[in-house]
Chain A
């Protein structure tokens, strides 16, 4: 446990100080962290799944609170919880099927016959009670811990049966952990390879002699375009620079290194150039449940221009960016303001930063948001 605590605290620090760049890296590290939390959780005899869920939830809440704007963290936590519930459910259905079989195979012995149906019924009842029930209003209001009910019924079955059941359950618990960790490994694998899978679809969307517009820099978009180039499609790319981080310069450099015809334009020229463009392809930070997209700043402007000129606006996002939340006032709540020094030099404008005549409030505010919200109706795919 101390090991995981140290890991968790370390990760929390990194999230708070925004040291981890990119939602893919964040998602991967979150998944790995949760995997170690799961493997270190001590599992009680009964209701292992809810113990796992409890520990994962506790860590997950702290992670989400550290950086509420990084939605990938919450997404990964929810997926791990879902994995736990699924694995548990599949194990209990397997166990119940197993119990039914063992009950039927002993029908030669007359003396046991009367007991068996009762036993199997009790066993099935016990098994189903130990599975996780999805929270219904009744369970929430009762707040009765499930574990108290189960040993009560199992003791009625007699000692031998009790022993076999406990043996059954401990093997079940090991199996549960094992399955969950396997599934989390698969999740990590998915997160790492999401870009390749997206890039494979590039050829279907990009044809010969197309002109593509993008803004800022996204690694997913870069791989998408390069995959199309590999398949010998020739096309041009307009890259808008994406002030104030100017990531478009980086993307343009990457693209020319790989041999693509690129033109670097200013953000202000996007409206002017978009009539000559066939498709707009951008990466996203997160995709919300209503289909709206949280994207780097400036993309709402591009999406509106694309809609006006009937140019398809395509968003590329890995599965770790899909978020089951609905955005409520996303410009403010899901946004972060960065340092104003990216816009204005402090030294040059120091005279303006003097507090205004008598009012005491500064005359000059500088706004530098990180993200933009693109509503679902502006997005084609």
Chain B
């Protein structure tokens, strides 16, 4: 558990799915190592233990929406454990539940999304993606394996510069790519035929909550009449409604803005006097909310749905997955 927390803190683990899977696997380990103290019931004690772990993780880095959903799932499973089970049986049931969750909701879901999304890619397409989303990367590689001829435009932004990692992985596999920064997006959007974006979560009013800058990409794509496809597993949907990006967000490290990796000439903000420092604030947002009108279709494991159908999935299928 400590190891995972430290990985979050260091930023080694990033991306909704990766963090979620790592967290669930850490919970599995914790459950296997757990033994009920005397005079306490398994369910209550385990739940409070899990709560303790979660607070530790929050200290390292605030939870993403997908992790929140996964934790709720786990707590509800623990609560539903029949009291007749012995401790070891309870533990194995829980571990296998977690395995099934990971398998069905993440791994298999991704496979279904790949198949759906690949039908939307035609030969000669120019696809644009922003930042680094594992689902979008899988889609691009899968379509390339299927033999489709297309080009990729990877758009990146400071300070995370995640696009560079994605770029490297794509070029190694032989896809022809163009790399640019977010500011140049009006310049490249003329040639782009489709935009593929990943999401951290999707809210009930269809708003997509994703890496900061996604909203700008979707807006410019909409202005140029380019279809925007958001690829997101259904377990990330959330019944909240968020109107803009400021009400609920995560702040990153402010010093990351002043440092530019690899460019020594950009050091304007070193050596500030105190007077300067008291007037200057550095704001490093991690997420932003894209309004649903910029999105053409959401590709999930339940199929390809318009943004207005998100509450249907949240209400209707949520019951099903809690019962599994």
Contact = CB atoms under 8 A, between A and B. Distances in A.
Given A252-B269, A275-B246, A301-B220, A268 B213 contact: yes
Contact of B183 (A243, A252, A271): A243
A259 B275 CA distance: 8
A267 B213 contact: yes
Contacts of A361: 176
Nearest to B185: A301
B262 interface: yes
A357 B223 CA distance: 37
A260 B275 CA distance: 11
B122 interface: no
A372 interface: yes
Interface in A325-360: 331, 335, 342-345, 348-349, 352, 356-357
B288 A367 contact: no
Interface stretch (B35-43, B81-89, B135-143, B156-164): B156-164
B182 interface: yes
The 7 closest A-B pairs by CB, nearest first: A268-B213, A298-B183, A272-B245, A300-B186, A249-B268, A256-B279, A271-B215
B133 to A, nearest CB: 15
Interface in B198-235: 211-213, 215-216, 219-220, 223
A241 B211 CA distance: 18
Given A352-B168, A363-B171, A363-B176, A272 B285 contact: yes
B272 interface: yes
Interface string B156-184: 11110000100110011011111111111
A364 B288 contact: no
Interface residues of A, number: 57
- Which residue, of A269, A276, A342, A343, has the highest number of chain B Cβ atoms within 10 A? A269
A178 to B, nearest CB: 47
Nearest to A345: B262
Interface residues of B, number: 58
Contacts of B187: 297, 331, 335, 367, 369, 372
B178 to A, nearest CB: 4
Contacts of B276: 253, 256-257
A343 B179 contact: yes
B279 A363 contact: no
Contacts of A260: 279
B55 to A, nearest CB: 28
A366 B179 contact: yes
B258 interface: yes
A26 B256 CA distance: 36
Interface string A36-65: 000000000000000000000000000000
Nearest to B266: A246
